[in-house]
Structure 1
Amino acid sequence: MAIHTVGKVTEAIRERVPPLTSIPLPRAVDRRLLEQRWPTRELATPPPGSGLEPVPGDAGAPLIGHSLDFMRFGTEYALRRYQTYGPVSWMGAFGRRIVSLTGPEATQIALVNKDKAFSQDGWSFFIEKFFHRGLMLLDFGEHRMHRRIMQQAFTRDRLTGYVDQLAPVLREGITGWSGQSGRAGWTQLRLYWALKQLTLDVATRVFMDMPSGARAHRINRAFVDAVRAGTAVVRYPVPGGRWAAGLAGRRVLERYFAENLPGRRDGTGADLFAALCHASTEDGERFSDADVINHMIFLMMAAHDTSTITSTAAAYYLAKHPQWQERAREESRGLGDELPDIEALDGLHTLDLVIKEALRLLAPVPSMARKTVTDTEVLGHYIPAGTLVGVSPVVNHFLPEYWTDPRSFDPERFNEQRREDKSHRYAWIPFGGGAHKCIGLHFGMLEVKAILHEMLRAYRWTTPESYHVRWDYVSLPVPVDGLPVRLSPLEPFGATRAGVTGR
């Protein structure tokens, strides 16, 4: 059994964690649901003489456990569990007992995984049926080899080419939002859904070199179905259910990539599909056809969903904090009317700060799944082999001993003069950490910056002062109402407003 710390999680350890502020919930029924208490039980009895404590927790409601609690309350639920049980606890969910590791110290043990006690097999329970053998599901030596090959698709030269491809798609799509402006000259838009369509269009264009149309729409629908299926409460292919839709979506994607793979092997395309087909390490290691198909399906999911969520969250905070919107707009308009290249996007410092703060306030992947492959211990608590484990960045991002006024929107906390994200190596982990840190994080940041840049140069957007977004965590966080915003077109400048200019 791997031992990571000396001693137990005592009251002294908990005293290092200042109490969180009360969690604000506007509706009394929500407060009552979140405050529901269940009998505390031990996960498993520690071995005699180990000096370890059992993991505390509770099973929640019969059959469904706490599955619906997290889907409904997300971050607020995770913070309440942390307040109640500390950094290591268990809960019933999806018919299983799942250990939650929260706070930077517990997170670091799982993600660094020095003793190889935690495997990626935790993801298999949720998404294996739909994202079979994606990079995130591979372990240890096999993962290291696949990541080395895949890294060839995310070099600086490749990223430069991807930006060149996505820029015109974004400009055309975003300027098109004003096509249905009302009499007053502004447009009411459900921003999340508009951005989701946009990032799907980018994914099919940049990753697959597929133009918009009926075929692209069918592929996009298959990805959406596969993503939503992973957290289905009914985990059987009941006709009309999300699980069945996800399995059907997976079959659509497999057929598409299998049919088009030979052409990509023979060609010299600049899209990600072609890049994976031709990727090779210095030792000559390459992906098999099956590897390429599995990785493409996984990367399409990972790319468009996280980019949609992050750009939606950043746009929401820019709407609620117009001084930051104007500051970012000034930088974007300073680039002129040409399509931005990778160097231009790198220079948008204000958007860097805003996006990082949005990622802190709304982690696009609120939990990272693991499974113990041996008996192990975290912060003095005994976790037996075969236990599902969830590592939750949403708690780390709100702990007041690492962040000043953690519930406030304060992008300056990421400025070089403060760098609160360096208060602990695992205080800010929207991209994960350790060997499995997101391989596409640089592409994701560039895409989100490009989206916001095009929005800033074309529109000013607002939400009512009394409006506050509520996030649905059924799969990944989505605004329950689609995030309605009012877009007001700005006066054009440069060569053209609606057309796509060249470099």
Structure 2
Amino acid sequence: MVTMVNTVGKVTEALRERVPPLTSIPLPRTVDERWLGARWPVRELATPPAGSGLKPVLGDDGPPLVGHVPEMMRFGVEFGLRRHEQYGPVSFMGGFGRRIVALSGPEATQIALVNKDKAFSQEGWRFFIEHFFERGLMLLDFGEHHLHRRIMQQAFTRPRLSGYVDQMGPALRAGVAAWSGRYRPRLYWALKQLTLDVATRVFMGMRGSDDAARINRAFIAAVRAGSAIVRYPVPGGRWAAGLHGRRVLERYFAENLPAKRKGDGDDLFSALCHATTDDGDRFTDTDIVNHMIFLMMAAHDTSTITSSAMVYFLAKFPDWQDRARAESLALGDDLPGIEALDRLETLDLVMKEALRLVAPVPSMARKTVKDTEVLGHYLPAGTLVGISPTVNHFSPGCWTDPARFDPERFAEPRREDRSHRFAWMPFGGGAHKCVGLHFGGLEVKALLHEMLRAYRWSVPESYTARWDYTALPVPADGLPVQLDPRSSPAR
């Protein structure tokens, strides 16, 4: 344990020194001392039962009510590494008026995500997002989750995925071409709009309308509400906006559901309406509304974040951009199908490394439904738990020079992601591993393929993206890039 803590401390320092560092925010001495526990007294979460031989979970509460949430949102990756350095793989922190146990490192996260004794429930998510993504797949537990997942998998079969790829191709090519002439766009926002256009077309069968903009605003409000510190519908507040967004989404899907039931569309909405297992199990209308709201959020935001991170790293490392472009140009001018996208091996490597460095879902919530233990530490029933891939993705026991951008670490024969089952976990793990991970990967590769064909892009050598972790990680400045048509000389 001492070795792990010390080596993670070295990685933290490396993050400040290497190019590109993952945060450009200087660390004031006061913040640094607070992280290291000089300011907040170390306490025990709960006293282990007598004779159990278990150790208490140690941690600190931080400032009243808000706890360490502002620091976590501001510093992201480095915050997680520092907490692990201070307390090890099992600790607690104050946040949202609660104590939250943080599990970090491959061994601790494996225990919770594999969940052999069924002690860790998805109820943890309900604390953050149930009001906005009620009964989405991620919020269901055990047998009910297994049933719903079996039905939903009918919408993500290989033939279905191939159809989705064929639908998204024209939207992506037209959307990327529309950026021509915008030489310094805030590319995150352009990518967000484009992935929304794809989501509304492939998921809902919409072809662009005023409804799309309204739906986008509703999704943004619902996602951001989950991290609200004031968790009450104060007019004008984030929580109230999220509740309103949820109502907008419910009305939209409920109004359009009967036509999808009757029709024979090839969008995801239609697929869920008709999905049936071999045993005849199907979704109710209410199930479909809940799952569509959740899936739109999950697919839209994670694809935007992943593509933004890839754009950033390809701008910082132009040799990798050139290598990926050569493979895309080799496919010719036809819109790529699923088999063609599978051949873009360089984009695969870059995507995996981007997912390691900027995990789209930086924390996965759980709640203990009975007393349990993790690595010899006592967690009582009712404990709110946060499982983060941060330390796993930067563990020197799993990764060579983990602060460095190095996509080759995922190529044969290195395959550093195989160093531990949970060394690389951007999609979670266990029974709740992301059901749409293949769809997301295909969408991101198709998007980057179109960008590589149409443009070259760059950022100043001195530029470093700063990721805002208020909800999910997004570039705080919108990711300004120099975007040049590929047939034009660089500006």
TM-score norm. by structure 2 comes to 0.95
- Does the Cα contact within 8 Å between 1:82 and 1:102 map onto a contact in 2? yes
- Does the Cα contact within 8 Å between 1:19 and 1:83 map onto a contact in 2? no
One-letter amino acid matched to 1:124: R
Aligned twin of 2:66:
64
Aligned twin of 2:266:
270
Cα offset, 1:337, TM superposition: 0.8
**Greater CA deviation, 98-107 or 206-215?**
206-215
Distance 1:175 1:26, change over 3 A: closer
The alignment partner of 1:297 has SS state of helix
Cα offset, 1:16, TM superposition: 8.8
Select 1:20's aligned residue among 11, 15, 27: 11
CA distance in 1, matches of 2:428, 2:24: 31
Q: Deviations over 1:102-139 (max 9, x none)?
A: 00000000000000000000000000000000000000
Aligned twin of 1:3:
none
Q: Deviations over 1:391-450 (max 9, x none)?
A: 000110001111000010000000011000000000000000000000000000000001
Cα offset, 1:28, TM superposition: 4.5
- Does the Cα contact within 8 Å between 1:320 and 1:462 map onto a contact in 2? yes
The alignment partner of 2:52 has SS state of coil
CA distance in 1, matches of 2:243, 2:8: 43
CA distance in 2, matches of 1:13, 1:408: 19
Cα offset, 1:35, TM superposition: 3.5
Aligned twin of 1:293:
289
- Gaps spanning 5+ residues in structure 2: where? 17-22
The percent identity for this pair of structures is 72
Distance 1:476 1:114, change over 3 A: same
Aligned twin of 1:73:
75
- Does the Cα contact within 8 Å between 1:17 and 1:401 map onto a contact in 2? no
One-letter amino acid matched to 1:268: D
CA distance in 1, matches of 2:12, 2:3: 20
The alignment partner of 1:369 has SS state of strand
Aligned twin of 2:365:
369
Matched, 1:331 2:327: yes
CA RMSD of aligned residues (A): 1.4
- Does the Cα contact within 8 Å between 1:20 and 1:83 map onto a contact in 2? no
Distance 1:130 1:46, change over 3 A: same
Q: How does 1:370-449 map to 2 (within 5 A)?
A: 370-449=366-445
The alignment partner of 2:93 has SS state of strand
Aligned twin of 1:35:
33
- Does the Cα contact within 8 Å between 1:431 and 1:441 map onto a contact in 2? yes
The alignment partner of 1:273 has SS state of helix
One-letter amino acid matched to 2:340: A
CA distance in 1, matches of 2:316, 2:188: 16
CA distance in 2, matches of 1:233, 1:212: 34
CA distance in 2, matches of 1:73, 1:35: 14
The alignment partner of 1:177 has SS state of coil
Cα offset, 1:456, TM superposition: 0.3
CA distance in 1, matches of 2:67, 2:27: 19
Cα offset, 1:63, TM superposition: 1.7
The alignment partner of 2:80 has SS state of helix
CA distance in 2, matches of 1:89, 1:374: 18
Distance 1:76 1:387, change over 3 A: same
Matched, 1:107 2:109: yes
- Gaps spanning 5+ residues in structure 1: where? 1-9, 182-186, 493-503
Aligned twin of 1:126:
128
Q: Deviations over 1:298-347 (max 9, x none)?
A: 00000000000000001100000000000000000111111111111000
CA distance in 1, matches of 2:226, 2:278: 36
Aligned twin of 2:477:
481
